[in-house]
Amino acid sequence: MKHTEKHIMSAALVFTIFLFSSPAVIAAAVPYLSTAAFEGQIEVINELIFEGADVNAKDENGETALMAAAMMGRTEIVDILLLNGAKVKAKDNNGETALMAAAFSGRTDIVQMLIADNADVNAKNVKGETALMEAAFAGRDGIVSTLIQNGAEIEAKDLNEKTALIYAALAGQTNTVNTLIVNGADINIKYKNGKTALIAAASKGQSDVVHTLLAQGADVNAAYSSGETAIMVAAYRGHTETAKVLLAHGADVNLKDFKEETALMDAAYKGHKEIVDMLIAFGADVNASEIKGETVLMIAAFEGHNGIVRKLIDEGAEVNAKTCKKLTSLMYAAFNGHTDTVKVLLQNGADINAIDTKKNTALMYASLKGHSETADTLLDSSRSVEENGDRKKPRQMLASIKDFTVKQKMVADFLSCI
């Protein structure tokens, strides 16, 4: 809810208006009623109303005095305004109502007063949000219960199809999540792109909410439109505690999204070593490959995550696995100049002579990208190549990629494969 600096006007200025101005001026000075309501100036409110101020007048943001009083918890002023004809269903320029303001701000007494005065509990603002959603997001459990008891639609959706449960899950409001579920909220309901409350909570690292949802029967392996599950989202974003909860509740570590990527790939890509260790401990396939044949080891090598590279190799990852274009983990590491990773791979049997479908080697990729240290490391390990008659000598390889256009094409070809 948007509230502006207009409310900082002092009470002294408000008093000046009604003490020294005519009723006509009083009626025209409508913003001051809202200011007085915001500041809790009861005497000013009474005087302005007595002098003829319009209790339903709106400021430049469309806000009324009732909305200001509701937001600030000015119970007595709310009562005065209602008794003098304030419209309880009025909306500001954003579609916000006094009930929404009170619900979000946790003003329980005022929520009850507004409902008793026939406030629309299911009114929506311009984003499709209701008072229940705003209360859920702010964790106002008592108000959530009050709104539901008075007819608030628990499954109402905003413009992105989020429900109150989704709002509470995203905000980490564990008690509110439980309150909504107890009152019948659909625990597996989906919003935009097919995401569930569990996936929403996992994306924000809300481990307590994740635990509550799972304890109440949420589908731990539900996937949204991309095929990603909660464990994949948690792995990618590095939410370790959330990942622990999901794994403890049976998350399938080897499920694949629509690109055939796994949670282990997500964690390896972002360098989340602790999550990588957990996923492997729960049976993640270290040799899983995505749609182009890219493996977890290749992903870790490309990013230079040496700790993860070593862990994957120790757990049996195939060092010389190839993509559909015959790219290897060594080529991935060389392309980005990760010298230490190159050394680890070579120490564990990486084939320095491997050639992709374009007849390029790891040495050639390191050279074309200008990674001299990596190239030197590969050259030191490839001296035996010069004695192998059926392969080009290293220096011949380097000479073949001096042309700038050739280099550009090699880079483009490589990146198209990953």
- Distances in Å between the Cα of 190 and the Cα atoms of 227, 310, 384 are 14, 39, 59
* DSSP letters for 269-332: HHT-HHHHHHHHHTT--TT-B-TTS-BHHHHHHHHT-HHHHHHHHHTT--TT---TT---HHHH
The answer on pLDDT for 227 being more than 60 is yes
> Mean pLDDT across the chain, nearest whole number?
89
Q: Residue 85's CB: how many other CB atoms inside 10 A?
A: 10
Q: Please check whether residue 167 is in contact with residue 159, taking contact to mean a CB–CB distance below 8 angstroms.
A: no
Q: Do domains 1-120 and 317-418 have the same CATH topology?
A: yes
Q: Where are the domains of the chain?
A: 1-120, 317-418
pLDDT at 20 over 70: no
Local confidence band at 415 (pLDDT 50, 70, 90 cut-offs) = low
| 54: phi then psi, degrees, rounded to nearest 5 | -80, 115
Which range in 24-38, 44-58, 317-331, 386-400 is most confidently predicted, on average pLDDT?
317-331
108-145 tens-digit pLDDT: 999 999 999 999 999 999 999 999 999 999 999 999 99
Considering only residues 350 and 368, tell me which one the structure prediction assigns the higher pLDDT. 350
Q: Which has more confidence, 328 or 15? A: 328
Fold of 1-120: 1.25.40
pLDDT digits (tens, 9 = 90+) for 353-381: 999 999 999 999 999 899 999 999 999 98
Closest CA to 61 of 103, 95, 98: 95
- Non-local (6+) Cβ contacts of 260 within 8 A are 289, 290, 291
Angstrom distance (rounded) from CA 156 to CA 335:
51
CA dist., res. 182 & res. 200, Å (int): 19
pLDDT of residue 340: 98
Whose CA is closest to 154, among 135, 174, 173? 135
Task: Tell me what pLDDT residue 57 has.
Answer: 93
| Residue 3 burial by Cβ neighbours in a 10 Å radius (0-12, 13-18, 19+) | middle
The pLDDT of residue 280 is 98
Radius of gyration over alpha carbons of the chain, in Å? Answer: 32
Residue 138: per-residue pLDDT: 98
- Does 153 score more than 70 pLDDT? yes
Place of tokens 């990486």: 350
How far is it between the farthest Cα atoms of the chain?
105
Residue 349 and residue 344: Cα distance in Å, rounded?
9
Residue 176: both structure tokens together:
């509110």
pTM of the model: 0.85
**pLDDT tens string 197-212:** 999 999 999 999 999 9
Residue 350: band (very low, low, confident or very high) from pLDDT cuts 50, 70, 90 = very high
pLDDT tens readout for residues 333-345: 999 999 999 999 9
Query: 317-418: what fold?
Result: 1.25.40
Provide the pLDDT for residue 31: 65
pLDDT in tens, 260-280: 999 999 999 999 999 999 999
